[in-house]
Amino acid sequence: DTGVSQNPRHKITKRGQNVTFRCDPISEHNRLYWYRQTLGQGPEFLTYFQNEAQLEKSRLLSDRFSAERPKGSFSTLEIQRTEQGDSAMYLCASSLGVGTQHFGDGTRLSIL
């Protein structure tokens, strides 16, 4: 069990640029969740996958956000045309079914 891995750990970009984050879940976990956390707040749900199917998206996920999990293993989260308000920690978690969710170390996004 190598844990949930997220890359990069920190991303600094200029407003308007596109960014992509990657999450590698625990290998036998079929569910993968993305959350976003801003300073002083708890994580907020963005979207989740069961295997390769994206089964739910939060209303927080605007059209600029897209997530994929093409082979039911790793997942990517892309943000197009980044805005200041996108600055946050993006957390990935995985689980076996509805079991305990294990979080990765997160990707901290800073928009200049």
Partner 1 sequence: QKEVEQNSGPLSVPEGAIASLNCTYSDRGSQSFFWYRQYSGKSPELIMSIYSNGDKEDGRFTAQLNKASQYVSLLIRDSQPSDSATYLCAVVFSGNTGKLIFGQGTTLQVKP
Mapped onto helix, strand or coil, the DSSP state of residue 58 is coil
φ and ψ of 105, to 5 deg: -75, -10
Nearest to 24 by CA among 86, 73, 63, 70: 73
Our CB check for partner 1 shows the closer of 8 and 16 to be 8
Which residues share a beta bridge with 51? Answer: none
Binding-residue pattern over the window 43 to 82 for partner 1, x denoting contact by CB under 8 A: xxx--x------xx--------------------------
Q: Give the interface size with partner 1 as a residue count (CB under 8 A).
A: 24
What does the binding site for partner 1 look like in residue numbers (CB under 8 A)?
Answer: 31, 33, 35, 40-45, 48, 55-56, 91, 93, 95, 97-98, 100-106
